[in-house]
Amino acid sequence: MRSVYIRPLNFLHGKDAQFHIQKKLAASVCGNKFLGFTKIEIVNKKNNKSILIDISQINKLKNKNKKQILKDLKYIQKKRSTIINLNNTKPVLMGVLNATPDSFSDGGKFNKLKPAIQHAKLMLEQGAQIIDIGGESTRPGAELISEQEECKRVIQIVKKISQIKKCIVSIDTRKSSVMEAAVKAGAKIINDVSALDFDSNSISLVAKLRKPIILNHSQGTPKTMQKNPNYQNVLIDIYDYFENKINQLEKRGFKRNNIILDPGIGFGKNVQHNLTLMSKISFFHSLGCPLMLGPSRKSFIGKIMGSKDTISRLGGTISSVIIGANQGVQFFRVHDIKEIQEALTINAELQAI
């Protein structure tokens, strides 16, 4: 079990990052020469204390954990492999398609074939590269449904949408039988909100299918997850959880470069947990996997805004996405593709100056 963790910070962007990386005054994030960092935070798990050091001073570091720190630093800088021809040097948008009657945001809108296809096409036109199709609501308090009912809701939709040109379908499910049926119907990515914990057959199935997997951290089940969620240290606890999951998959021959990590905003976290995870999401880069963030329309926005909360929570979603993008997050799972794409485009132009 590791005793130290490192987090890149003091980020540089665009030409500024390129210049400092070339001069070895900064290091790149995930091999992106236009995103660099000049400092790292070294966090000691035992006493929860941290120190900041410049990148240029790392080789001079006198620390019993130096070997681990250097290994983590290499993972942070390593270029992430392309997943299904997706260029992850730029943010990749995953459009949410809930084929459910009871999802918190759009339940009942797209649970029929025709409106589901129409909405998928619209999101693709607006800039989505992945369509994430789910048949079971995972909103706080949601009830479990049967595998048969879930398949009935999603498989035909997966089959039709996966036939759309240049469309990559992701199946959002906790159940191995639904995963398998959806992959046979054309799904290319598996997105499990339980990170393969819900169904004991899932990890062996995923290892066999060899499809990219999104491991979403959650504490508890949708029915119970928001009842007083608790962590000793939300960053370290989730990091250790992910590291264990990656090791389990690698032991079964599954490649790290096919794993996407999602810290699970709103899945067994209070407002402070969510804010900590988003503001310091670069903490997870040293695991060597692409990162995903899914803050879209989540309740933490409403709790912060109080009486000024809106149905779309668009401003809060955009703000959260930009914070993640500026730390090198590669994937974003969102509802409002057009507006998020516009925000990311403008952000990229500003950062390029």
Active site residues: 298, 333
Backbone angles phi, psi at 230, to 5 degrees: -140, 140
Query: Hey, what are 8's tokens?
Result: 């890149």
The residues with which 192 forms a beta bridge, in sequence order, are 215
Residues 201, 181: Cα–Cα separation, whole Å? 14
Tokens of 123: 């999101």
Identify the H or E element spanning 50.
strand 50-54
* Alpha carbons 99 and 13: distance in angstroms, whole number: 39
- Contact present, 291 and 29 (Cβ < 8 Å): no
Angle at 178 between CA 174 and CA 181, to 5 degrees: 150
Residue in this structure with the two tokens 């070895």, named with its chain if needed: 24
108: left (phi over 0), alpha (psi -120 to 50) or beta: left
Tokens of 203: 């990890």
Query: Are residues 331 and 88 in contact, defined by beta-carbon separation less than 8 angstroms?
Result: yes
Residue pair 179/205 in contact by the 8 Å Cβ criterion: yes
